[in-house]
Chains A and B, each alone.
Chain A
Amino acid sequence: MSALHSIKTQLKSFLTEIGELSLFTGRYFREAFKRPFEFKELLRQCYNMGNRSLLLVVITGFIIGLVLTLQTRPTLMEFGAVSWMPSMVSISIVREIGPIITALVCAGRIGSGIGAELGSMRVTEQIDAMEVSGTNPFKYLVVTRVLAVTLMLPLLVIIGDAIAIFGSFLVENIKGNVSFMLYFSQVFDALEFGDVIPATIKSFFFGLAIGIVGCFKGFYCEKGTEGVGKAANSAVVFTSLLLFIIDFIAVFVTDIFYDL
């Protein structure tokens, strides 16, 4: 009975959280298009989230491209299809690996950062103080952050993709003596708008999910220092899960529109 009860309680709390998150998202969209716009704060957040994640994304992307090529090479060589490497690597990176890896890295870095920052602000009652002083904390803290991630993540994904393909080219150039022109000619021969456009649109949603979940967890943080850690942790976990769900939906929708 107790097990059933606990499942019931967990399900109830999960559904409540989903409901709260939906309300939070709705509030975000309402507030986002309302004046006044906090441009300065938005730029600061963009710099924080975009520029400061760049190195991480670049290194991750480079290694992913390198490793993917190194791992795939022997198998393709068995089939005598090494010349298909640029097409294979570019399509897999642009369509899937680039966006999802970048989003996961950003979820770890940005999502947890937002969760911890807003959580500590909530714990130290800074948010309450803002409300008292007449500043809209949602607009100043949440909207700017979510918008910043939503805008920055696609850019990070594009740069990450480019770096990953370059890493793949380096391996091919060293191992297979493939020229830069040939490699990139084959890459763009294989890529189509059906690969790039859905992946870019998907990245916006990834950014939105990271921002919304991070802000939601931090904004409604439990009291105490423990709450801050919890908020940061659950922000990362929940965001990662949500990213895969969004990815699945995105692929599903793309399949309908682009006939992959």
Chain B
Amino acid sequence: MARNLDRRHFLGLAGAGAGAAALAACGGPSTGGGTAGSGAADIDFSGVKPASSIDFWTNHPGKSQDVEKAIIEKFQAKYPEIKVNLVTAGANYEEIAQKFQTSQAAKSALPGLVVLSDVWWFRYYTNGNIIPLDSLIKQLDIKVDDFQKSLVADYKYADKQWALPYGRSTPLFYYNKDHFKAAGLPDRAPKTWQEFGEWAPKLKAASGAQYAYIYPALAGYAGWTLQNMLWGWGGSWSNEWTMNCDSAESVAALQWAQDSIYKDKWAGVSSKEAADDFSAGITSATIASTGSLLGVLKSAKFNVGVGFLPGGPKNETGVCPTGGAGLGIPSGVSKEVQLAAATFLKFMTEPENTAAFSAATGYMPSRTSADMSAVLSKTPQIKTAIDQLAVTRVQDNARVFLPGADQEMAKAAAKILTQQGDVKATMTELKGTLEGIYTKDVKPKLKS
């Protein structure tokens, strides 16, 4: 029987066809179950030939594009058979993570080597996005013992090495020497926040700056730098997997910070980048990454001093967190690409290259044998950052292992430091949020 095909029928069929095609095309993730950290098994690279070309995804931490290009040129000269394409994959760690995660979902266009920050690598591990480097370290004879131990240990989990340090940093106390001199203060960073609290009114009066101290921008890793105060007061975001950000010590630390803004009125909160505010002379002191050091030295029109982070009433030392980024190799690329990427990773982290990277950015050299004499003679302030490494502390699990925790911490800090919110209530609410993230997103994926 013949059937009419009028416009209405046609549109109906077209709609049905589109729907059917859509349902048929519903790929996405597999719902058949999977294991976290599926790339955990050691990979055998024997007999594998390195790929002829790899992409290196970076956000050029510390404005490192030029030095990255220079290192790649050196690599090409030594390994002409492996071409490295430098790809700007984002302006910061979050953007590079976004691109990497999206490529994982699309299952295409993955790089050979990727920059991964302290708060992202663990997620890549739990999602099975990166491979353990142990067999590659062995095959390529990468001298792991020569790396700064604490920096390498940051990427160790379940007895495997998941990344190697690259643009690693710690926060540093920056101060305006001219302001300190005008206020009759010693030319050094304060030993404790209490000491700085005594200095601050004099600083503000003598300097003419808006603030004696500016807290780092809340959108710029507030959870990272605030660990310094929490630890100084004997508190923390978490103790292992127990969220204790509402402890009396943590609340006291943040209450002191709030008072410095609203009660004592000598501190403020940066809106975008504390290092820029400091360079512009808005504040006499701040805390910023060592990765900002060269930028500050270049742009500041005054004498810049740097020092260790101040301690608190409970702990005067061991109050500085490590941070920054490492390099990892995706699991979703071929063994050939992984081997080529590891070859480049080894080269990137050679002592002379890590020294060059450090000289160009202010990030710390990740190798203990890196010859820093030329760098230090040119920029002696870097030595303070290197020396501070000895008194660093591993970050709280809550900040580095819980997805989105850093943002939740920043929001809580915003409530306390910019809206004068109740500290105890805010931290109790944050604790609940962090526990929820842990229970839902992390606990099920942890190795028992």
Q: Do A and B come from one complex?
A: no
Q: Footprint of A on B, CB under 8 Å? A: none
